[in-house]
Structure 1
Amino acid sequence: MASLRRLLTILSLLMTTALLGCVAPPPNPVYPEITFQHLNPLYLNVGEIKIVDEFTPPLKHPHVEHELPVSIDQSVRNWVRDRLRTTGNSGAVATITIKDASAVEQGLEKDSGLKGLITKNQSELYVFHLLVELKITEISGSSAFVTAEATRTKSVPEGITLNQREKTYFTQVESLMRAFDQEMEKSIRTFMGAYLR
């Protein structure tokens, strides 16, 4: 009887182990594109809109642009697609130049000694920066330009998971793009009113 009980216990443990081995890790979240389709487009009296990307990600620490689930420069391209429209004036061209679209990681000092052992420190600070220029050039040679700049910073605690870090990246890029959109629209309306239709 005792040996039967022991056999049942071993079988039960084996089945539990097998079942636990079948549990899949949680799936990696998929983040949507950052778009601006919900906002009214800005109609510029130009015949063409061009995008020039002058920022090249270094692809090495401390830069983390290549780790972002949604890139900053692609989000700028989405902004141009969703917010700017031409009115057909073939004598003028609008050029959007991405000057900077960086995301940089900075290590933070941690508490040492006993305090460091019992305290969960903020371990990294992320700085997201975007600088974009919009220039309208006419055949006559006259031109107008505005710039829009946005920065967001966020620190994260030590021991953060990869999924939590990616979520932080996404929310900060989303916030950065919202700030950029507001700044660029304000600049266009203030300094390029003559080109708005």
Structure 2
Amino acid sequence: MQRLLQHGRLDATGRLPHIHSMNGRRTRFFVIAILFIVASCETPIQSRSFPQQTFQHLTPISLDVANIRIVRLFNPPLKEPHIEHEMPVPPIKAIERWITERILAVGASGQAVITIRDASVIETGLKRAGGIRGTFTTDQSERYDARIEVEIRAADGRGIRTAKARTTSSRSRSISEDATLNERRTLWYELTERVMSDFNRTFEMQIRKHLAPFLK
């Protein structure tokens, strides 16, 4: 009886190392899995960088004035529904660069005043499908409306000869509800690029039409 009891103790203690080993492996696996999940969550998303939008490849528009002044009537509000401050290239910056690179003062007197009246981009939430249909569909969640309005006034040194031109350009884009931040920023960049392309074409046409006496 004593021998059987001793044998029973030996069996019990003999199984303990195996149980501890299994529990240890499970614990280590659980800890490693948790660390992997945490590390994945903390991995920073690489933000895409965007090139500058320049206009140096275009022929400058030379005006018979001594200087050019830029007047800002629009300033980004930095709050919803405006999103200009979040964009890689806000329209206001693109317009100012366009003026610097495309409009040249080559005269001895006179002045051209370029007024930026609007350079806004507004975000509007779109209605999405609800219920079961909404579960299985990917909708467009937001629309972005860009609008540019710029005016130029030119006057000679005595204020006798004057001329003005104005243009308005607008573009809209919508984005999917499952878009990533980088995809959203890419859309914003392209939106500025396209509305500026429209602006460049129409404003140059208006300048050549209405400011012809000042062109050199």
Pick the TM interval, shorter chain: 0.7 to 0.9
**Shift in Å, 1:148:** 1.5
Q: Secondary structure at the match of 2:57?
A: coil
Percent identity over paired residues: 34
Which of 179, 192, 197 does residue 211 from structure 2 map onto?
A: 192
> What secondary structure sits across from 1:25 in the alignment?
coil
The code of the aligned residue for 1:181 comes to N
Question: Which one of 180, 192, 195 corresponds to residue 176 of structure 1?
Answer: 195
Task: State how far apart, in whole Å, the 2-side matches of 1:93 and 1:192 are.
Answer: 13
**Cα deviation per residue 1:26-75 (whole Å; 9 max; x = unaligned)?**
42112222110011111111100110010022221111111111111111
Counterparts of 1:24 and 1:118, CA distance in 2: 29
Q: What is the total number of aligned residue pairs between the two structures? A: 196
Structure with bigger helix share is 2
Which of 142, 160, 170 is the aligned partner of 1:124?
Answer: 142
Could you say which residue in structure 2 is the equivalent of 1:87?
106
Q: Which digits, 9 at most, give the CA deviation of each residue in 1:135-185, with x for residues without a partner?
A: 102223431110121101001111222111111100000111111011111
Say whether 1:61 aligns with 2:80: yes
**Aligned residue type for 1:70:** V
CA distance in 1, matches of 2:62, 2:75: 29
Q: Partner of 1:162 in structure 2?
A: 181
**SS at 1:62 equivalent:** coil
User: 1:26, 1:161 → 2: CA distance?
Assistant: 10
Structure whose alpha-carbon radius of gyration is higher = 2
Call closer, same or farther: CA 1:140–1:113 in 2, change over 3 Å: same
Q: Please give the alpha-carbon distance, in whole angstroms, between the structure 2 residues aligned to 1:59 and 1:85.
A: 31
Aligned to 1:109: 127
SS in 2 for 1:177: helix
Q: Structure 1 CA distance, aligned partners of 2:159 and 2:209?
A: 23
Give unmatched runs, 5+ long, in structure 1.
none
Root-mean-square deviation over aligned CA pairs: 2.6
Under a length normalisation based on structure 1, what TM-score does the superposition of the two structures give?
Answer: 0.87
